Structure 1
Amino acid sequence: MTSSIVATDSVLTLDIGSTKTRAALFDVVGGFYRFIAAGTATTTVGPPYNDAREGVVQAIHQLQETTGRTLIASDGSLLTPATPDGSGVDAVAATLSAGPPIRVVAVGLLDDVSLQSAVRLAQSTYSTIVEKVSMNDGRQQARRIDAILHARPEWIIFAGGLDGGATHSIHTLAEAVGLASYLLPRNDRPVVLYAGNSEIRQEIKETLAPVVDVYTAPNIRPLLQEERLLAAGPAVRKVFKAVRAAQMFGLTEIDAWSEGRLLPAATAFGRMIHFLGRLYDPNKAVLGIDVGSASVTVAAASGGHLIQRVFSDLGMGESVEALLNAIPPERITRWLPDTFDEERVLNFVANKAAFPASVPASAEELLLEQAVGREVVAAAVRQTLKEHTVETGRARPDILPWTEPILLSGALFSRSPSVAQALLVALDGLQPAGVTTVVLDQNELLPSLGVAAEVNPLLAVQVLESHAFLNLGTVIAPVGSARQGTPVLRLNVQFEDGRTTQAEIKFGTLARIPLPSGKSAQVHVQPLHRFDVGLGGPGRGGRLQVAGGALGIVIDARGRPLQLPKDATQRSRLLERWRTALTR
């Protein structure tokens, strides 16, 4: 590779999560960028260290031991750029998801227009909405000020006003924001992001600047029917860093190591999904889900459009108890053998929240974790689709849109004992429809690649195409209604070596046809009884070129949405059949 194409060879990424901190090394191998190795340590933003740098340094030391490459100098500083003897790295970039949700007050003119956009912008990163203020909220100005004071926000997102529209109401809301902020102790005052009518941006900034730190962004709702959340991305990044730097010791130094390339991990994750959305079929959505300990990020993209939703009250660790605020415990127990009762689920959830870094120590605990994981995934995707419109087709409004591919990230999937279990959790939680490829981010690299793309976009592209990501297989999930055991799909698979396989798939079954990685096959799909696989409408089939994967071709004819038997014994037997279906 020449320097005209590549400005930096080696890149070190630092990913500071709520429980774990990872340092990942990327470099050129055989003329292509590759993921080399990663080091992991416990995140140290809280006691006893209270310094994010300690966990980062521990992770880098582990990476040094793995690779034999010196990355930290004797004085404790990072070695940049790389030296001729192979020590150091050319660039550093960092992502952050650790820390409590940022307390946000959303301010807008109208509830279902600019206020809605302000809320969505907050929900694109690690935040919790503690108050909403609008001109049609029915409150007098004094009560709006009291509401902001009572909420004690760390961040106020202020939207409203079409570009070129009236400005009097915006000034009224700015007065409420300014007075409420002034009445708070100086060290407790929020950061304000103004993303409203662009024509008075400077006026609003000058009004509020004597009281609070003010950041501005392009109007996120410039027209009544047009929302532009991505335009506010750079400003959101600045606010995020400012708030987190005030909360976490050592973060300013880490940002300096990365030369300002510190991103919210969700932003970096969304960037990769957005990028892939430009490459794949615009009639399908690229879907990514990142399940962390304290939060879940869902991102969907098609063409140039990105939907991103961060759930700071969902996760597999410290946030897991919040799941029970959204669903009853029996939603979890339905995924378990009939020997598990609700009390056992509640005890597991409480223990997981208290010890978020714990891992399953038995087969029973693994079943519990995966049952919880299914419902965490389902809750996040269900709420995302309720709040946002995915501009692609689907068989029915109550199921997932057509997708290609689906990317799975997070320890729930990457640390599963087998790829079959990882895929089954995803199938049960997401319930994809039609034909899609499912890819496992087995090294949990997507956020790191998203931030590394700022340094070198080619690196992100080439690592995505490498073996750092695992193709689990092609999933074919016909949508329709039929009696159990009714044939709903016929497949004719022609392998590269000339062999052929025919299969008739019955409703209610989960099956697989082996097709190893590196191989491919032509698959003729013919739905029966007007079942829909996304190839042009109910009953329409077609021929597909399918790439091999860890599990080959997986046919999920269990129906959408999944219906589990009410009888506990029958349900247990069915779940056991499903658990073994992908390992045959």
Structure 2
Amino acid sequence: MPVSLVEGNSLLAVDIGSVTTRAAYFDVVEGQYRFIGMGQSPTTLIAPASNIAFGVQAAIESLQFVIGKTLVDENNHLTMPSQPDGVGVDSLCATISVGDVLRTVLVGLLPDVSLKSIEKLALGADIQVVDSFNTNDVRDINEQLDAIFKSSPDLVLIAGGTDGGATHSIQKFLELVGLASYLLPETRRPALLFAGNKNMQKQVLTSMKNLASSVAIAPNVRPVADVEDLGPAQRKLAEQMIKLRQRQMPELEDLRTLCASPILPAAYNQGRMVRFLSRYFDTGRGVLSVDVGAASLSLAMAFGDDLYLNVFNQYGVGEPLARLLTHTSLDELARWFPLNLPVEWLRDYIHQKALYPAFIPATTEELAVEQTIVRHLLQLASRDAVATLPAKYRPRTGLLPATQPILASGASLTEAATLGQKLLMLLDGLQPAGITTLAMDQNNLLAMLGAIAEQNSLLPVQVINSGALVYLATVIAPVVSNVNYGTPIMRAKLIRNDGSESETEVKMGALQILPLDSGQTARLQLRPLLRADVGLGPGRAGEVDVIGSSLGIVIDARGRPIRLPGEPERRRELLNLWQNRVGG
């Protein structure tokens, strides 16, 4: 690599999560940027510390021990830039997902146009929509004011009107929001983001600058009626969210002054990296990333420049579990539980985990419950995410679109005891169809790399190339209709580079492993039966190049969606059979 491209600057990235704060160190090794090591500590937002800076400091201290390098001075202050004696680091960046969910009011004109666009914008951020207003709202102004007072929003998102179009309706909503803000105590006034008719931008700034806690202007999300452009507004929304976080956590300002690039939400940075990887891998099928966090589950899909980012703060594996049963039923969750225990056991664990998000399963039963919950959260999130996609990316009803690869992060996944457990949680939860590759973001680096890209666009590329993503397995998941378990639906032949071959007949309901050592390449011939679609089209045969892993090549012929038996004993027998098949 030419010296002009890699200047040798080291970089420290900090990710402040709702449960864990991580500090990652990157440096140049043999002319290439590399991930060197990671330190972590419990996040210290809540009592007794009530200051995230302590968690950041502890994570950096842990990192120093891991990499054997001193990064701070005798006063525990970060040394920047690095010194000739090797102490310190050249630059710092940070990303954050901790903090109370931001209560948000949406304002649009037409429900199926501007309001729909602003709803999509809200889906990609860790915010909670508490009310919405549009021109079809039947409430009078007093009822609307009362609704705003009761919802007590942290943030108001406003869109509406094509560029150069009418302004009267938007003006009426601005007056409503302005009056509500005026009547609220100054400390409770919401921030505002306007992403509507560009002819209204100056008026919004003038009329709202003294009424909202902060005002941001973004390009119109609907510049013309049939064109939607959320990208610029996503960035402005991310910046507004950080301003609100600084009100909640004043110590964040000290961290911001040290960073060489803006602090932005982790989900935004995750989405940025997924969009980059979609262009980088260029498989023609898009890239999917899922991060199972304590406070939220984020799922991002990118198809070239088209990014669809969803942050589900109702599906986190921590405090949100207290409300999980408002989104599903205990019986539905229990269908994926492989042990013969009362369903009340599941309910008790859910409430315990909601109270103590950092709780780590200590027994086989607790681990089974946790992984059952993760499976079901992935199912709920993927179902909701698919529903938001445009029709061109939804080839099969209710199933995820074809993506390659699928990337997974979050401690519940990455810290599972075996590779088979990681694999099966993803297969049961996301239920990908066709041909895809699963990989683990084992060190939860994606959001950090998205933050780093703001100041160093070369580092994420080289770190990804160096193997920062851990290859899990290539998966073939045929889709076929109206076929009973045990019926042959596909024949597969694996032709290894040394000339050896293995052939198998795949039956409906099977989860099979074709042995192929890690790093070895081979050709896989696929011959579907009964018009099964292996990812090449209904009934179409073909060959694909595959790479081996510790799990070999996985053929998941359990159907899409997976339909479990209704009889509990038979269902548990099948779940345990599948778990044992992949070495779980």
TM norm. shorter chain > 0.5: yes
Task: Report the counterpart of residue 373 of structure 2 in structure 1.
Answer: 372
Amino acid corresponding to residue 130 of structure 1 in structure 2 = V
Residues 219-239 of structure 1 show CA distances to partners (whole Å, capped at 9, x for unaligned) of 112222222111113311221
Task: Report the counterpart of residue 334 of structure 1 in structure 2.
Answer: 335
Residues 11-54 of structure 1 show CA distances to partners (whole Å, capped at 9, x for unaligned) of 11100000110001111112221111111101011211111110
Which secondary structure state, in structure 1, belongs to the residue aligned with residue 453 of structure 2?
A: helix
Amino acid corresponding to residue 448 of structure 1 in structure 2 = M
Task: Report the counterpart of residue 347 of structure 1 in structure 2.
Answer: 348
Amino acid corresponding to residue 486 of structure 2 in structure 1 = G
Matches within 5 A, 1:41-440: 41-212=41-212, 213-281=214-282, 283-337=284-338, 339-389=340-390, 391-392=392-393, 394=395, 396-440=396-440
Residues 424-461 of structure 1 show CA distances to partners (whole Å, capped at 9, x for unaligned) of 00000100000000011111111111111112121111
Change (3 A) 1:380 1:153: same
Task: Report the counterpart of residue 443 of structure 1 in structure 2.
Answer: 443
CA contact 1:94–1:258 (8 Å) conserved in 2: yes
Which secondary structure state, in structure 2, belongs to the residue aligned with residue 403 of structure 1?
A: coil
Amino acid corresponding to residue 72 of structure 1 in structure 2 = V
**Residues in 1 aligned to 2:472 and 2:108: alpha-carbon distance in whole angstroms:** 44
Ranges in structure 1 where 5+ consecutive residues have no aligned partner: none
CA contact 1:510–1:555 (8 Å) conserved in 2: yes
Residues 162-200 of structure 1 show CA distances to partners (whole Å, capped at 9, x for unaligned) of 112111111111111111111100111001111101122
- TM-score, normalised to structure 1, is 0.97
**Residues in 1 aligned to 2:512 and 2:372: alpha-carbon distance in whole angstroms:** 21
Offset of residue 393 of structure 1: 5.8
**Residues in 1 aligned to 2:581 and 2:30: alpha-carbon distance in whole angstroms:** 40
Residues 304-362 of structure 1 show CA distances to partners (whole Å, capped at 9, x for unaligned) of 10000101121111112222111101122112235222100000001101110011101
Amino acid corresponding to residue 441 of structure 1 in structure 2 = D
**Residues in 2 aligned to 1:254 and 1:109: alpha-carbon distance in whole angstroms:** 39
Of all paired residues, the percent bearing the same amino acid is 43
Which secondary structure state, in structure 2, belongs to the residue aligned with residue 319 of structure 1?
A: helix
Residues 204-231 of structure 1 show CA distances to partners (whole Å, capped at 9, x for unaligned) of 2111112122111011122222221111
Amino acid corresponding to residue 324 of structure 2 in structure 1 = L
The yes-or-no answer on 1:494 pairing with 2:483 is no
Offset of residue 3 of structure 1: 4.9
Amino acid corresponding to residue 10 of structure 1 in structure 2 = S
Moved more, 143-152 or 556-565: 143-152
Amino acid corresponding to residue 492 of structure 2 in structure 1 = L
Task: Report the counterpart of residue 554 of structure 1 in structure 2.
Answer: 554
Change (3 A) 1:329 1:135: same
Task: Report the counterpart of residue 477 of structure 2 in structure 1.
Answer: 477
CA contact 1:472–1:552 (8 Å) conserved in 2: no
Task: Report the counterpart of residue 19 of structure 1 in structure 2.
Answer: 19
Ranges in structure 2 where 5+ consecutive residues have no aligned partner: none
- TM-score, normalised to structure 2, is 0.97
Task: Report the counterpart of residue 28 of structure 2 in structure 1.
Answer: 28
**Residues in 2 aligned to 1:183 and 1:2: alpha-carbon distance in whole angstroms:** 61
CA contact 1:285–1:392 (8 Å) conserved in 2: no
Change (3 A) 1:60 1:390: farther
Offset of residue 7 of structure 1: 4.7
**Residues in 1 aligned to 2:310 and 2:322: alpha-carbon distance in whole angstroms:** 20
**Residues in 2 aligned to 1:381 and 1:294: alpha-carbon distance in whole angstroms:** 17
Amino acid corresponding to residue 383 of structure 1 in structure 2 = D
Amino acid corresponding to residue 579 of structure 1 in structure 2 = Q
CA contact 1:124–1:310 (8 Å) conserved in 2: yes
Offset of residue 388 of structure 1: 2.8
Which secondary structure state, in structure 1, belongs to the residue aligned with residue 370 of structure 2?
A: helix
Q: How many residues align?
A: 582
**Residues in 1 aligned to 2:218 and 2:394: alpha-carbon distance in whole angstroms:** 32
**Residues in 1 aligned to 2:282 and 2:323: alpha-carbon distance in whole angstroms:** 36
Moved more, 421-430 or 228-237: 228-237
CA contact 2:386–2:394 (8 Å) conserved in 1: no
Amino acid corresponding to residue 303 of structure 1 in structure 2 = G
Offset of residue 387 of structure 1: 2.5
**Residues in 2 aligned to 1:170 and 1:474: alpha-carbon distance in whole angstroms:** 51
Amino acid corresponding to residue 407 of structure 2 in structure 1 = L
Amino acid corresponding to residue 250 of structure 1 in structure 2 = E
CA contact 2:418–2:583 (8 Å) conserved in 1: no
RMSD: 1.5
CA contact 2:109–2:170 (8 Å) conserved in 1: yes
**Residues in 2 aligned to 1:338 and 1:356: alpha-carbon distance in whole angstroms:** 23
CA contact 1:282–1:303 (8 Å) conserved in 2: no
